[in-house]
Protein backbone atom coordinates (compact mmCIF):
# COMPACT_ATOMS: atom_id res chain seq x y z
CA UNK A 1 0.00 0.00 0.00
CA UNK A 2 1.38 3.39 -1.02
CA UNK A 3 1.18 6.05 1.64
CA UNK A 4 2.23 9.69 1.45
CA UNK A 5 2.34 11.85 4.56
CA UNK A 6 2.96 15.58 4.47
CA UNK A 7 4.34 17.60 7.34
CA UNK A 8 5.96 20.95 8.00
CA UNK A 9 3.09 23.32 7.37
CA UNK A 10 2.31 26.16 9.70
CA UNK A 11 1.83 29.87 10.20
CA UNK A 12 4.56 32.19 8.95
CA UNK A 13 4.98 35.87 8.32
CA UNK A 14 5.40 37.10 4.75
CA UNK A 15 9.04 36.88 3.71
CA UNK A 16 9.62 33.88 5.91
CA UNK A 17 10.39 30.26 5.08
CA UNK A 18 8.96 26.82 5.65
CA UNK A 19 10.11 23.37 4.61
CA UNK A 20 7.48 20.81 3.78
CA UNK A 21 8.20 17.09 3.88
CA UNK A 22 6.50 14.26 2.03
CA UNK A 23 7.31 10.87 3.54
CA UNK A 24 6.56 8.00 1.18
CA UNK A 25 6.07 4.34 1.94
CA UNK A 26 5.12 1.43 -0.28
CA UNK A 27 6.58 3.20 -3.32
CA UNK A 28 9.73 2.10 -5.13
CA UNK A 29 11.59 5.30 -4.42
CA UNK A 30 14.04 4.90 -7.29
CA UNK A 31 11.23 4.70 -9.84
CA UNK A 32 8.92 7.45 -8.74
CA UNK A 33 7.88 11.03 -9.30
CA UNK A 34 6.58 13.24 -6.52
CA UNK A 35 4.61 16.38 -7.12
CA UNK A 36 3.57 19.14 -4.77
CA UNK A 37 0.17 20.74 -5.30
CA UNK A 38 -1.74 23.37 -3.38
CA UNK A 39 -5.31 24.47 -3.03
CA UNK A 40 -6.31 27.85 -1.68
CA UNK A 41 -9.83 28.52 -0.39
CA UNK A 42 -12.25 28.92 -3.25
CA UNK A 43 -9.66 28.01 -5.87
CA UNK A 44 -8.80 24.91 -7.83
CA UNK A 45 -5.84 22.79 -6.88
CA UNK A 46 -2.71 23.76 -8.79
CA UNK A 47 0.64 22.16 -9.37
CA UNK A 48 3.58 23.77 -7.58
CA UNK A 49 6.62 21.60 -8.21
CA UNK A 50 7.64 18.05 -9.11
CA UNK A 51 10.70 15.85 -9.10
CA UNK A 52 11.36 12.64 -11.04
CA UNK A 53 13.75 10.22 -9.38
CA UNK A 54 15.02 8.53 -12.54
CA UNK A 55 16.82 11.58 -13.87
CA UNK A 56 16.30 14.28 -11.27
CA UNK A 57 14.13 16.40 -13.52
CA UNK A 58 12.29 19.14 -11.65
CA UNK A 59 9.48 21.46 -12.62
CA UNK A 60 8.21 24.61 -10.97
CA UNK A 61 5.14 26.71 -11.45
CA UNK A 62 6.03 30.25 -12.60
CA UNK A 63 4.55 31.69 -9.41
CA UNK A 64 7.07 29.87 -7.21
CA UNK A 65 10.14 29.58 -9.42
CA UNK A 66 13.15 31.10 -7.72
CA UNK A 67 11.51 30.94 -4.30
CA UNK A 68 10.71 27.22 -3.85
CA UNK A 69 13.13 24.31 -4.17
CA UNK A 70 12.18 20.65 -4.40
CA UNK A 71 14.61 17.92 -3.39
CA UNK A 72 14.58 14.27 -2.46
CA UNK A 73 16.38 12.10 0.04
CA UNK A 74 16.33 8.52 -1.16
CA UNK A 75 17.85 7.32 2.11
CA UNK A 76 14.64 8.06 3.97
CA UNK A 77 12.16 8.11 1.08
CA UNK A 78 11.26 11.74 1.64
CA UNK A 79 10.76 14.66 -0.72
CA UNK A 80 11.13 18.19 0.56
CA UNK A 81 9.76 21.51 -0.61
CA UNK A 82 11.81 24.40 0.69
CA UNK A 83 9.69 27.54 0.49
CA UNK A 84 11.43 30.88 0.85
CA UNK A 85 10.23 34.48 0.50
CA UNK A 86 6.71 33.36 1.24
CA UNK A 87 3.82 35.58 0.25
CA UNK A 88 0.23 35.73 1.51
CA UNK A 89 -0.88 34.31 -1.84
CA UNK A 90 1.07 31.13 -1.03
CA UNK A 91 -1.52 30.38 1.65
CA UNK A 92 -3.10 27.03 0.84
CA UNK A 93 -3.33 23.39 1.76
CA UNK A 94 -0.29 21.71 0.25
CA UNK A 95 -0.52 18.14 -0.98
CA UNK A 96 2.11 15.76 -2.21
CA UNK A 97 1.29 13.22 -4.88
CA UNK A 98 3.18 10.22 -6.23
CA UNK A 99 3.38 8.06 -9.30
CA UNK A 100 5.61 5.29 -10.61
CA UNK A 101 7.74 6.57 -13.44
CA UNK A 102 9.60 4.59 -16.07
CA UNK A 103 13.08 5.54 -17.22
CA UNK A 104 12.90 8.35 -19.72
CA UNK A 105 9.55 9.49 -18.42
CA UNK A 106 8.91 12.54 -16.29
CA UNK A 107 5.89 13.80 -14.40
CA UNK A 108 4.88 17.44 -14.43
CA UNK A 109 2.35 19.60 -12.65
CA UNK A 110 -0.94 18.09 -13.76
CA UNK A 111 -3.10 16.19 -11.28
CA UNK A 112 -3.91 13.41 -13.73
CA UNK A 113 -0.24 12.42 -13.84
CA UNK A 114 -0.34 11.17 -10.23
CA UNK A 115 -1.99 8.15 -8.65
CA UNK A 116 -1.38 8.56 -4.94
CA UNK A 117 -2.14 11.54 -2.72
CA UNK A 118 -1.44 12.62 0.80
CA UNK A 119 -3.90 14.29 3.15
CA UNK A 120 -2.34 17.74 2.94
CA UNK A 121 -0.72 20.23 5.29
CA UNK A 122 -1.88 23.80 5.86
CA UNK A 123 0.41 26.71 5.07
CA UNK A 124 -0.74 30.16 6.16
CA UNK A 125 1.28 33.26 5.32
CA UNK A 126 0.28 36.51 7.01
CA UNK A 127 1.41 40.02 6.15
80 neighbors 72 (Cβ within 8 angstroms): yes
Per-residue confidence (pLDDT) for residue 88, from 0 to 100: 97
Q: State residue 37's pLDDT score.
A: 98
Q: What is the 3 state secondary structure string of 84-125?
A: CCCCHHHCEEEEEEEEECCCCCCCCCCHHHCCEECCCEEEEE
Tens of pLDDT, residue by residue, the chain (127 residues): 899 999 999 999 999 999 999 999 988 767 889 999 999 999 999 999 999 988 889 999 999 999 999 999 888 899 999 999 999 999 999 999 999 998 888 899 999 999 999 999 999 999 9
- As a whole number of angstroms, the distance between CA 126 and CA 13 comes to 5
Per-residue model confidence (pLDDT) at position 102: 86
What separation in angstroms does the CA of 62 have from each of 67, 78, 103, 117? Answer: 10, 24, 26, 23
Amino acid sequence: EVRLVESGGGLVQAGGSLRLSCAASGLAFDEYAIGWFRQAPGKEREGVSSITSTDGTTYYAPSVKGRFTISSDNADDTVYLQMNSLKPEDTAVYYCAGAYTAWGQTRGLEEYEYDYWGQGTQVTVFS
